[in-house]
Amino acid sequence: METNPTPPNSPEESAKTKKTDRDQNGWLFIWDLVKVVVIALVIIIPIRYYVIQPFIVSGSSMEPTFENGQYLIVNELDYHISNPQRGDVIVFKYPKNTSEYFIKRVIGLPGEKVLIQNGKVIIYNTANPNGFTLNETYLPAGLYTEATTDQPITLGPDEYFVLGDNRPASSDSRFWGDVPSNDIVGKVVLRAYPFSQFTRFITPQYQTQSK
């Protein structure tokens, strides 16, 4: 006796086709999910931890440039290929407690001498052995930079002198010394929040004024 084959498009065949389609769709979804995870691991996470990183300002030491609670984007890649420049605003590990992070402005570079005198910052280096007064146009008019010593501070080959823009309210290199290059996390490049104050920051250009 001959058995009749299942006619095309019978309920049994349709059920099998639907099950096969569901299996294929399920595997496609899992494969897409795996690709997303791989992309995150290979691209997004390294960017987050090694290229840019967000920081929230805490305190008033950088006012009026940055205020408490503002959300900043820090470029961590730049200092792997170049050195910090005078005027850069940087995030770094506090040398006295590296579990804390500070934000300040780079004032003195490796090998230089920094003297604070009569409320002004004077820089001595090979190009200016007699010293020049730093023209800090980003500071409020009339702001006085208090000195903690009447002697110049000499920086080593990998040391930076940093100050807050709000000098009367800033704990900085005047009080606890230099910042080693290894403690520097990166340079502030954007204020991302609040949105109404979104700003890209560029390192200021200083005019050399003789002492």
| Active-site pick, 18, 35, 58, 61 | 61
Pairing state between β 209-210 and 179-180: unpaired
Alpha-carbon distance 143 to 126, whole Å? 28
* DSSP state letters, the chain: -PPPPPPTT-HHHHHHHHHHHHHHHHHHHHHHHHHHHHHIIIIIHHIIIIIEEEEE--SSTTTTTS-TT-EEEEE-SHHHHS---TT-EEEEE-TT-TTSEEEEEEEE-TT-EEEEETTEEEEE-SS-TT-EE---TTSPTT-----S-SSPEEP-TTEEEEE-SSGGG--SHHHH--EEGGGEEEEEEEEEESGGG-EE--PPPPPPEE-
Active site residue 61: yes
| Active-site pick, 104, 170, 173, 187 | 104
Active site residue 60: no
Active site residues: 61, 104
